[in-house]
Amino acid sequence: MTGHVDPTRETFAQFRANDRPGPIHMLNLVRFRDRADYPDGRVASGAEAYAAYGRESFPVFSRLGGRIVWRGGFELMLIGPGEERWDECFIAEYPSVAAFVEMLRDPAYREAVKHRQAAVLDSRLVRLEPRAAGEGFGGPPDPVRPPAAPTA
């Protein structure tokens, strides 16, 4: 299985090009390797390596205004590929696209990310536009983009 660990250059360029004002939310779904895959051969579980990533990257993340706005524990894939399961599920908020990009460029973060790369077997990182929560779903159309034209 080929996992998704890092964005492609093309996708990251699209991410940066959509530099709308305001915060972004990043849905993180992460599946750990049983054994971390460190290039230097050190021994750790994927969970241990990901915990090291969290400890080392959090100071940069928080200094740039990042915060975790939601965490959950995966229980069951009700709709979707049954083989997908996630060990870590959370939504991180960044004040802007620029803050996220600055985090990736920070030397301390770049050092910490080696743990993530060793830890992760597969992941999904989904950029979201924060919207107001409330009762029900299927709320008003996005004010930035006009609603889609009806199809016949």
Which of 71, 54, 146 has its CA nearest to residue 109?
Answer: 54
pLDDT tens, position by position, 30-88: 999 999 999 999 999 999 999 999 999 999 999 999 999 999 999 999 999 999 999 99
Alpha-carbon distance of 26 to 109, in angstroms, equals 17
**Exposure string over 11-37, b if 16+ CB within 10 A, otherwise e:** eeeebeeeeeeebbbbebbbbbbeebe
CB 116 within 8 A of CB 37: no
Instruction: Name, in order, each residue with C-beta under 8 angstroms of 13's C-beta and a sequence gap of 6 or more.
Output: none
Could you state, in order of their start, the residue ranges of all structural domains in the chain?
19-128
Q: Which residues contact 52 (CB under 8 A, 6 or more apart)?
A: 44, 112, 115, 119
- Cα–Cα separations (whole angstroms), residue 21 to 16, 46, 95, 130: 12, 36, 9, 12
Per-residue pLDDT reduced to its tens digit, 1-17: 457 877 788 888 888 88
Tell me the pLDDT tens digit for each residue of 121-149: 999 999 999 998 877 777 665 555 544 45
Tell me the two tokens of residue 53: 């990533």
3-state secondary structure of 52: helix
Domain 19-128 CATH (choose: 3.30.70.100, 3.20.20.70, 3.40.50.410, 3.40.50.620): 3.30.70.100
